[in-house]
Amino acid sequence: MRMRDIRVNHLEQTIKDATVGANTKGRMKSLFNLMYKYAMKHEIVDKDYAALCDSIKKPKLEIVRIPFSDEEIKRLWDDIHFPFADMVMIGIFTGFRPQELAILKVEDVDFENLTIQGGLKSESGRNRVVPIHPAILELVKKNYDQAQAMHSDHLFNDEFGQQGTFLTYDKYRGRFNKVMKRMNMNHKPHDTRHTFITKAKAVEMHEYILKLIVGHAVEDITEKTYTHDCVNSFSQN
């Protein structure tokens, strides 16, 4: 078939019938674009059918979140003095995203009201107030005192860090993986947040309180006012 006889349906059917992945199909579409660019430049064809060809949609990656089981949480408690096991536990009890947890500062902790202020990503997620559950209060205090002794602005630190004591998400992920290897567990850093949400739903935490704690948008103004008033009740249960 001559190139001047090719139509959109030929291009689309060729891509559709190819037994390759979405990325390769995307490269096929890019090749067609280059071919028609050349053909138009040299007046081989009068119309750019590649431009009319449907774009290739990449399949959405399925994100798998696995909550920590009660038995796994117990194992963490049993070995809580292993470096950064306490940070993992604080993540489970606060619902902070790993990157949010890593950049918390000493000034974000309010022991008088038993809360931590932090968060990223969206308007509802930034600078949200998260109650400190009694179970992790001593863990938070330990890291707070250590940070002050090190004259660090950050709540979580690695005193043996080769590139500064403060943590980034990448640094935390590496330390998280060491904890998982130590405990013989198979989890990803975001599983701590998923565990918090799963546990909160299991005990029927008010939907809007949960949204405020984890940084999801609350659209109802009445509910938003109500939940801001009672969110601190979580820190006392």
Percentage, residues of the chain above pLDDT 70: 86
123 pLDDT band, cuts 50/70/90, is low
Q: Which tokens sit at 219?
A: 């659209």
The predicted-structure confidence for 63-73, as pLDDT tens digits, reads as follows 788 999 999 99
At 233 the pLDDT is: 52
CB 163 within 8 A of CB 174: no
pLDDT for residue 162: 65
Summarize pLDDT for 95-117 with one digit per residue, the tens: 999 999 999 999 999 999 999 99
Can you tell me which residue has the tokens 């904890």?
A: 179
Q: Report helix, strand or coil for 59.
A: coil
